Structure 1
Amino acid sequence: MPGSNRSWRTELIGTYPDLFHPPADNPGVAQAYPECGEGWCDLLDRLCVRIRAAVQADGGTFKFTQVKEKFATIRIYWDGRLSPDAAALVEEAIALAEARSACTCEECGELGRLYQSGNWLMTRCAAHAKGLPVDTRPEMENIHIVRRLAAGQVQLLSCRRYDRQSDAFTDVDPTSLGIEED
């Protein structure tokens, strides 16, 4: 089905025109036309629901500027004017989508893991895997660490584990993983 990939993307943009801002006459050419596999359609829909709720509650503006796969996870870029609280909700929704993409097959949406084929990284299920699985220490699976540089110092902001079943993060003590707090 050559048109199937295009249709899920066009349908997503058509469902959330307030977030993608496509031209009225051609939603298939929205600036942030999703550049990823159909397996991530559900996580993009979840993302859009969360972002729409935050933007509507805030009364601000939001526009996706790019939606793509990079280094085997989804990357989301946006522009807009939101209150700090609404922007934090949007960033949390994006973090959840990125975390879900790291354990969801980009081809079919089933549980996946990181594979490497040559220089390419991809998140795939066993049925769609190419190359070799990338080894990860069991205690580090689905761990997401956020650091920032402030006043010349790297600061640890959060250390969380993503749970795919609940689609949520839980805090993890970084020292239990051998990660030094800065």
Structure 2
Amino acid sequence: MTHEEYVDYIRTRYSDLFDPSYSDEDWRYLITIGPGWWPLLSDFCEKLEGALKHHGEVGRWYIRQCKEKMGELRIYVRRAPYERSDVDGFSEWVADIAPLEPSAAKEMISIIQEQIVGQANLTCEECGEPGGLRVLDGWYRTCCDQHFEQWKELRTSK
């Protein structure tokens, strides 16, 4: 499966977990992780969907981005913005960044994120085999021994 095919699958299967206003261009940058972590993101989406249904919060929380940063899986989930109540959109902007009161749904989202990120810390982003955080010339990746060796060869051949 290609990255584009995987993103299309997630976009279709878990459409309620993403802001419906996202454009095709937004989707190009929304999920930027390697194939070894795709099963973890799918698992996250499945668990998130179940938790939101359980708490009656479907459509009230959206995955904003899924990426690798400093060798770790980062999944950003935020409350959906409020409806615009004025012409310039100021109220929408405020609602998106305003702190939220603790809720059962938010607590469950945090627990699910923690579990999935913990698994990703032990999983090669390239192939999904057991791996760990590696550092090379100040760059971080979570990868298996084989992909670490390939990465070293690639970095030294430049």
TM-score normalized with structure 2 length: 0.72
State the match for 1:150 in structure 2. none
Structure 1 residues 104-154: Cα deviation after superposition (integer angstroms, max 9, x where no partner): 0000111111111211110111121134xxxxxxxxxxxxxxxxxxxxxxx
| 2:34 pairs with one of 34, 37, 51 | 37
Tell me the SS of whatever aligns to 2:53: helix
4+ residue runs of structure 1 moved beyond 4 angstroms? 22-26
CA shift for structure 1 position 62: 1.0
Aligned residues: 128
Is the contact made by 1:19 and 1:62 (CA closer than 8 Å) also made in structure 2?
yes
State the match for 1:114 in structure 2. 133
Amino acid at match of 2:71: A
CA shift for structure 1 position 37: 0.6
Amino acid at match of 1:4: T
Which sections of structure 1, spanning at least 5 residues, go unmatched?
132-182
Structure 2 CA distance, aligned partners of 1:96 and 1:67?
Answer: 15
**1:128 aligns to 2:126 (yes or no):** no
Which of the two has greater helix per residue? 2
RCO comparison, higher one (Cα < 8 Å, 6+): 2
Is the contact made by 1:107 and 1:124 (CA closer than 8 Å) also made in structure 2?
yes
| 2:50 pairs with one of 36, 48, 53 | 53
* CA 1:5–1:31: 2 relative to 1, 3 Å: closer
Structure 1 CA distance, aligned partners of 2:39 and 2:76?
Answer: 18
CA shift for structure 1 position 44: 0.3
Is the contact made by 1:37 and 1:107 (CA closer than 8 Å) also made in structure 2?
yes
Amino acid at match of 2:146: A
Amino acid at match of 1:58: H
Q: How does 1:69-108 map to 2 (within 5 A)?
A: 69-80=68-79, 84-108=103-127
